[in-house]
Structure 1
């Protein structure tokens, strides 16, 4: 059985679309369709079913989903072990959006200059999603917010950046007292489902503050634009630039001891790509 057919199947399931899977894999939709037909013919049953414009796995497709992930992961590990002494291979990297624009561009340039034969696949997502993707083997390493729980001994962590939490306010409110603003201005909350958003909520709880909340978002870039337009104030990390074009909001320090969001690299101890991960850490 061709492992590339299994990889194609996993990509189709992940993206819910043959054309999108084709785009991600650098293939034509016809080639993806042919691979799926060949895989279904070899297994002897349909693995995908159409649901409007999307596709979803059949019961048989769901049954082989996890085994397919294990097989493709093990096959890739074999290739990496065979290339252990060569500066080549593929690194599957997950990254949160602010790291994707603020930290990764220069790091990837440094990595490419040092190891030009290394191919990098980047999966964007939230820290919670990337943590899950790391656990399932979909990615080799994640650049994310440090998890708010103790890491198991099987995981390795390397810090990359510390970002203090600040209050972001419209420029007209620069110089005002942050505590006064929390009592008078509408509050745009950084999604509590994100680990960084939980830090902001922890600061509010520690100070016994219940702001006039009217909006909750999980995209820092979108929050900064809305604050800049005068729609409210927010508490969020002072992430690495670039920030969205045209944002003119003011950054105010929060009262009390600094509260920091730590960004770093998380991976499995002894992973076959450890040498490439170490090179990424050095590039960061």
Structure 2
């Protein structure tokens, strides 16, 4: 039995969609279906069943899910033990979207150029989703916003960068005071369900400003494009990427600006600790 079949089954079961598993694993939908079929042929029972547009595990599928996770975890541990003196093996790394477009591309390029035999699986998500993924052992480490609550002692937090919030505005407002723009211009809100969005909301409350809110988005990239199009202003962390730096927008400083801290969170006993450290060092570089 190939472990990639188990990995594919778990991904489909988790997201309820062959298409989503295809996107996350970088395998064609036909390839996903073939893997599931091969696993079902080997088990001798159907493991997934359609429910409308979604798929869900059958009773047989539910019965093997936890054991499948343990098998994959033990395989990763075997690889790590075999290469105990070096950064090697497989790493399941979660990352927020701005890390995927800003911090990670150059860092991962350095890792792949200097460390042979590395296999890194990237899982995108919000900070809250990735934090839960760590607790449930679905990923080995995550690059995310620092949690707004005490971090358990079983987890290790390493700061990568601290990003001050700025007021993002169309370029014609570059000389207008930020407080004035927040009161007068349409406001595009950074989603308050995100940990970074909560920082922006708390800052507005501290200024006792009720902006002319008309849109709330969970993607900083989407917010920046909206601002560039002249659809409003927004409070957001001053993150950097090749995509963001090419936008025609003004970044106005804020008095007593909050900071969004981006870092790497991992269990203290993570099996692929050398590889995690190698990724952290490369991203910091």
Pair in the same fold by TM > 0.5: yes
CA contact (8 A) 1:22 1:29 kept: yes
Q: Report the CA distance shift for 1:249/1:19 in structure 2 as closer, same or farther (over 3 A).
A: closer
CA contact (8 A) 2:168 2:235 kept: yes
Q: Following TM superposition, where does structure 1 have runs of at least 4 consecutive aligned residues deviating by more than 6 angstroms?
A: none
Q: Report the CA distance shift for 1:213/1:30 in structure 2 as closer, same or farther (over 3 A).
A: closer
Q: Report the CA distance shift for 1:44/1:202 in structure 2 as closer, same or farther (over 3 A).
A: same
Q: Report the CA distance shift for 1:4/1:104 in structure 2 as closer, same or farther (over 3 A).
A: closer
Matched, 1:274 2:273: yes
Taking structure 1 as the reference length, the TM-score comes to 0.90
Cα deviation digits, residues 138-180 of structure 1 (max 9, x gap): 2111111111111111101111111100111111211111112
Aligned match of 1:115? 115
Stretches of structure 1 that go unaligned for 5 or more consecutive residues are none
Aligned match of 1:233? 233
| SS of residue matched to 1:156 | strand
Taking structure 2 as the reference length, the TM-score comes to 0.89
What is the count of residue pairs matched by the alignment? Answer: 283
CA contact (8 A) 1:7 1:72 kept: yes
Cα deviation digits, residues 198-220 of structure 1 (max 9, x gap): 11011011122221111000000
Aligned match of 1:161? 161
| Alpha-carbon RMSD | 2.3
Aligned match of 1:75? 75
CA contact (8 A) 2:127 2:144 kept: yes
Q: Report the CA distance shift for 1:42/1:253 in structure 2 as closer, same or farther (over 3 A).
A: same
In 2, Cα distance between the equivalents of 1:172 and 1:24?
A: 40
CA contact (8 A) 1:99 1:240 kept: no
Stretches of structure 2 that go unaligned for 5 or more consecutive residues are none
In 2, Cα distance between the equivalents of 1:207 and 1:28?
A: 50
Aligned match of 2:254? 254
